[in-house]
Chain A
Amino acid sequence: MMDILTLKKLSVAIALGVMLMGSEAVTVSAAENAASPETQTTPIDSRIQEFTLDNGWKFIVLPRHEVPTVSFYTWADVGSAQEVKGITGIAHLLEHLAFKGTSHIGTTDYEKEKVALEKVDAAYQALIDETRKGNKADMEQLEKLNRDFQAAQEDAGQYVVPNEFGMVIELFGGRGLNASTSSDRTDYFFSLPSNAAELWFFLESDRFYEPVFREFYKERNVVTEERRMRTESSPIGFALEELLAAAYKAHPYGEPTVGHFSDLQNLTPQNVMHFFRTQYVPASMTSVIVGDITLERAKELAKIYFERIPASPKPEPTRTVEPPQNVERKLIFHLQSQPTYIVAYHKPEMMHPDGAIYDAISSILSDGRSSRLYRSLVRDKQIAVAAEGFSGFPGEKYPNLFLFYAMPAPGHTNEEVAQAIQEEIQKLINEPVSEAELTGVKNRAEAGMLRALTSNSGWASALGQYQGMTGDWRNLFRQLDRIRAVTPADIQRVARETFKDTNKTSAYIETLTTENE
Chain B
Amino acid sequence: MKNLIYSLLTAALCLSVNSVSAAEQGKPVTNYKEIQLPELNSMQIQKPERYVMENGMTVYLLEDHEVPLIDLSLLIYTGSRWEPADKAGLAEIIGEVIRTGGSKKFPGDELDDELDNSATSIEIGIGRNEGSASINSLKHNFAHSLEILTDLLQNPSFPEEKIALCKQEIAGGIVRRNDDASGICSREFNRLLRGKDSPYGHQVELTTLANISREDLIQFHQQYFQPQNMILGVWGDFNATEMKKLLADTLGQWKKGTATRPAVPGIDMKAAGTTGVYLVEKTDIEQSFIRMGHIGGLQSDPDYYALILLNDILGGGFSSRLFCHIRTDKGLAYHVGSSWGAGMDIPGTFIVSGSTKLASTAEFIQAAREEVERVIKEGVTEEELQRSKDTFLNGFVFEFDSTGKIVTRLMAYEYYGYPADTLEHFQENIAKVTCADILAAAKKHLKPQNMLILVVGNPEKFDKPLTEFGKVTPLDITIPGMN
List A residues at the B interface (Cβ < 8 Å): 1-4, 6-7, 10, 21-22, 65-69, 99, 104-105, 157, 162-175, 177, 191, 193-196, 198-199, 201-203, 205-206, 215, 217-226, 228-229, 232-235, 292, 301, 304-305, 308, 335-338, 367-371, 375, 378-379, 382, 384-386, 407, 409-410, 436-437, 439-440, 443-444, 446-448, 450-451, 453-456, 512
Contact A447 B119 (CB under 8 A): yes
Which of the candidate stretches B19-27, B190-198, B249-257, B409-417 sits at the interface with the other chain? B19-27
Contact B67 A453 (CB under 8 A): yes
What are 13 pairs between A and B in contact, CB < 8 Å?
A: A22-B335, A66-B43, A68-B40, A175-B398, A193-B398, A195-B40, A199-B35, A218-B331, A222-B331, A233-B287, A382-B168, A409-B171, A454-B67
How long is the Cα–Cα vector from A410 to B439 in the complex, in angstroms? Answer: 52
List B residues at the A interface (Cβ < 8 Å): 13, 15, 21, 23, 26-32, 35-43, 66-69, 92, 96, 100, 112-113, 115-119, 136, 138, 165, 168-177, 179-183, 282-287, 289, 317-319, 323-324, 327-335, 355-357, 387, 390-391, 393-398, 400-402, 482
Inter-chain contacts of A229 with B (CB < 8 A): 182, 287, 334-335, 355
Q: A194-B40, A338-B175 are in contact. Are A304 and B27 (CB under 8 A)?
A: yes
Q: Which residue of A lies closest to B355 (CB)?
A: A229
Cβ-Cβ contact count across A and B, 8 Å cutoff: 271
The dominant DSSP class at the A interface is helix
Contact A368 B116 (CB under 8 A): yes
Q: Which residue of B lies closest to A42 (CB)?
A: B67
Please give the distance in Å from A373's CB to the nearest CB on chain B. Answer: 13
Inter-chain contacts of B35 with A (CB < 8 A): 196, 198-199, 202
Contact A195 B37 (CB under 8 A): yes
Contact of B23 among A162, A167, A301 (CB under 8 A): A301
Contact B36 A198 (CB under 8 A): yes
Contact of A225 among B170, B332, B396 (CB under 8 A): B332
Contact of A163 among B27, B180, B287, B318 (CB under 8 A): B318
Contact A410 B334 (CB under 8 A): no
Contact of B41 among A68, A163, A205, A444 (CB under 8 A): A68
Contact A162 B391 (CB under 8 A): no
Contact A228 B287 (CB under 8 A): yes
Contact B169 A226 (CB under 8 A): no
Which of A201, A217, A368 has most chain B Cβ within 10 Å? A368
Contact of B28 among A173, A205, A215, A219 (CB under 8 A): A205
How long is the Cα–Cα vector from A456 to B397 in the complex, in angstroms? Answer: 13
Q: Which residue of A lies closest to B25 (CB)?
A: A304
Inter-chain contacts of A195 with B (CB < 8 A): 13, 37-41
How long is the Cα–Cα vector from A440 to B177 in the complex, in angstroms? Answer: 34
Contact of B13 among A170, A193, A219 (CB under 8 A): A193
Q: Which residue of A lies closest to B482 (CB)?
A: A410
How long is the Cα–Cα vector from A308 to B332 in the complex, in angstroms? Answer: 37
Q: A225-B355, A368-B116, A410-B172 are in contact. Are A304 and B28 (CB under 8 A)?
A: yes
Inter-chain contacts of B324 with A (CB < 8 A): 162-163
Q: Which residue of B lies closest to A301 (CB)?
A: B23
Inter-chain contacts of B30 with A (CB < 8 A): 104
How long is the Cα–Cα vector from A2 to B169 in the complex, in angstroms? Answer: 10
How long is the Cα–Cα vector from A386 to B42 in the complex, in angstroms? Answer: 48
Contact of A338 among B13, B21, B179, B182 (CB under 8 A): B179
Contact of B26 among A67, A198, A225, A304 (CB under 8 A): A304
Please give the distance in Å from B23's CB to the nearest CB on chain A. Answer: 5
Contact of B116 among A232, A235, A367, A446 (CB under 8 A): A367
Q: Which residue of B lies closest to A157 (CB)?
A: B329
Which of B21, B112, B330 has most chain A Cβ within 10 Å? B112
